[in-house]
Amino acid sequence: MLSIIQDTREQSPLTFNHKYIVDVRIEKLDYGDYGAELGDGRRLPLYFERKSLNDFWGTLTQGYSRFKQEFARAQAGKARLIIIVEASLTRIRGGNVYSSRAPESILYQIFTMQARYGIETVFCNSPTEVAEYITQVFIAYAKLYAGAQK
């Protein structure tokens, strides 16, 4: 069994619907928007930072220094932080009407962060797909983590 931990600052909460998820609790997280806890109270060392297209674009431009600090906090806490974007890679490639920044520049930054810092970015087409992705990854990690602790 698994509890999803949702950060208090999450403005548009996702809906999680899976037999292994017993509840969604709202707590302040030090990094990310979503974490998970096993039934025995142990937290998984994995968190998701969820971004809408506009938020993602803004974070990689004006908010980048703050964003790097969040990743540094996660690394210091020995946690893995994954960026999950509510837009396809094709949509990112199409640009953002609210920014003059070139899509190629954003793509270069995304994949440089992955190569240099190991920061994974996942692209999903909708909030429903984001919730499903997060659910499946947390379940897989929970099974591995629970087995490793025996």
On whether the CB atoms of residues 127 and 138 are closer than 8 A, the answer is: no
Q: What pLDDT was estimated at residue 97?
A: 83
Rounded mean pLDDT for each run of 10 residues along the chain, 150 residues in total:
95 94 95 94 95 90 85 90 94 86 90 87 96 97 76
CB-based contacts of 83, cutoff 8 Å, min separation 6 = 48, 49, 51, 56, 119, 120, 121, 122
Q: What pLDDT was estimated at residue 86?
A: 96
Q: What pLDDT was estimated at residue 148?
A: 60
Q: What pLDDT was estimated at residue 149?
A: 57
The pTM for the full model equals 0.90
CB-based contacts of 7, cutoff 8 Å, min separation 6 = 26, 27, 28, 29, 32, 33, 34
Angstrom distance (rounded) from CA 18 to CA 2: 10
Domains of the chain: 2-148 (3.40.50.10130)
CB-based contacts of 96, cutoff 8 Å, min separation 6 = 53, 54, 57, 103
